Amino acid sequence: MEHTRLPPLDIMHKAVVERDTGFEGVFFIGVKTTGIFCRPDCRARMPKPQNIEFFPSAKEAVMEGYRACKICHPLELSGAVPQWLQPLLTLIEDNCDIALKDADLRSRNMDPVRVRRWFKKHHDMTFQAYLRARRVSQAFGQIKHHRTVTLAAFESGYNSLSGFASAFQEVTGFSPSRSSTGRKIVSLARILTPLGPMFAGASDEGVCLLEFNDRRMLDQQIKVLSARLEAEFVPGAHQHITVLERQLNEYFAGQRTQFTVPLFVPGTPFQKQVWQGLQQIPYGETRSYQAQAIHIGNPKAVRAVARVNGENRIGILIPCHRVIGKNGKLVGYGGGLWRKQYLLNLECSKKA
């Protein structure tokens, strides 16, 4: 079966042979001999090339009569929370001040090592560090809204002020007493998308970060933002992230062409001008770097525009994926060209 939204056959076959995770979400493989469809990086035994057909979406594979593989679970979003962990995450979300030790996990029939590994892989911190960060984030919000340090400490589950102060300093880099003197905390959360997990950051001003979690420069982006905002990034919920997740789901479902969640985009005047110009590229359309330079009234700044385009810290909402080379080819995208192609295909198909 042929699809115009798929990469060339030789590239897809190579990706399947190498179990390349970089093609997650770009295509799915249907195995004719078994009637099962899989992700490109499925660990199951490799089928012969003549027994494979490719689909641009899980939906189309299902419509052709294929069943989902029980090994790679292609109907689930990449990075989705496994079923065995879901009760624990629900417990944490409902009780931000909760403190759980290894014995508490075992009493819930959970292996502490398995839990630790999952949090380390998906949040780059241990389970206990995640809990501390959540509790400190809650306390910070209370102090910012004129709660005393003492009340914030005890309401966040700490039994001593010294223990609270130590944990607060470790997580944020500053003492609780400085929480109401201009320091910020940016809430950091993980959002699942059809193209893999993304990290979203938000302060009260708006969303300031949205990047795929495998972007090479993600750590540097967070460091730059942290210094510029004089803020610490701490895992936690935020109302802007809740709205962002809903609007992203609508976007990927083809039900939204514009985002209304507030954005907070610190930068130089030129950077802001370039990023504002990106937001003015209509949904489903593309422009070259040269066209963008002309659009912002600075036709000689093509290279500078391209550089600032690459410094964009809010993917999809500030749509740098809509900028292509002058010759019409895809160039430069921090999330990978395959994701850029997916987003352009999505928008063009929905616009049509």
Residues known to be catalytic: 320
SS3 38: strand
Nearest to 230 by CA among 280, 174, 276: 174
Long-range Cβ pairs for the range 139-143 (8 Å, 24+): 139/164, 139/168, 139/176, 140/168, 140/172, 140/179, 140/185, 140/234, 141/185, 143/176, 143/179, 143/180
Cα distance between residue 199 and residue 335, in whole Å: 12
Cα distance between residue 120 and residue 97, in whole Å: 21
Nearest to 92 by CA among 241, 239, 246, 236: 236
Cα distance between residue 206 and residue 285, in whole Å: 26
> The tokens 């929480």 sit on which residue?
179
Element spanning 127, H or E: helix 127-144
Cα distance between residue 200 and residue 217, in whole Å: 15
SS3 31: strand
Residue 306 phi, psi dihedral angles, 5° rounding: -65, -40
Cα distance between residue 341 and residue 102, in whole Å: 44
What is each CA distance from 308 to 263, 274, 322, in whole angstroms?
A: 17, 7, 14
